[in-house]
Amino acid sequence: MFMRTERLFLRPTFPEDWREIYRGINDAGVVRMLARAPWPYRPEDAQQFCAQAAESSEIRLAITLPGTDGAPIIGMIGLDRSEDVPEVGYWIARGYRRQGFASEAVQGVIAIARMLGVKQLQAGHYIDNPASGGVLRKAGFRETGEVRPTHALGRGGEMVLSRRYALCLRDPCANGDNQACPRDNRKPA
């Protein structure tokens, strides 16, 4: 699956991408905010990540920045559909933060989810990563009010408090359905 946004190109990863992924994620400040990436992050971890196909229940896309010198990978974004409500997760390499790339990539994944007929998305961020909450709110996610312990492999497997968000993708007026999505704080239309 591929997605073009205004400035980005979201695409699947290939085995040869491991070096770029490793360069971007081999940063304690990045991995510390991720649930499934170990620290220290080794070249073998990047090779394994790029070599294995995504599970059928997930979409994993490299966030690339097309330009005259190619399209370097500046992060990753995914949609895990193993739960009843699919979950969005992402990271952006340190040199590309605070430029709106995470928000733009999240909007791209939201568009993909809509094309797939997904009715609701969820996401979360560790309490000590409020910038990620800003990205989610900018993309239209709403806080659910839930804060829960979440496994953090990048922090040695400890449980870290995570603030939870939801985004309703269905048209609340379609078919006369004026109820808000479950776990979404928005009021009915």
pLDDT in tens, 142-167: 999 999 999 999 999 999 999 999 99
Give buried/exposed letters for 36-72 (b at 16+ CB in 10 A, else e): ebebebeeebbbebbeeebeeeebbbbbbbeeeeeeb
- The Cα 174–Cα 159 span in angstroms is 40
Task: State whether residue 102 is helix, strand or coil.
Answer: helix
Contact 89, 75 (CB under 8 A): no
- pLDDT for the residue numbered 172: 58
Q: How big is the chain, counted in residues?
A: 189
Average pLDDT, the chain: 90
- pLDDT for the residue numbered 171: 67
- pLDDT for the residue numbered 95: 93
- The Cα 34–Cα 51 span in angstroms is 20
Q: Which CATH class is domain 3-176?
A: alpha beta
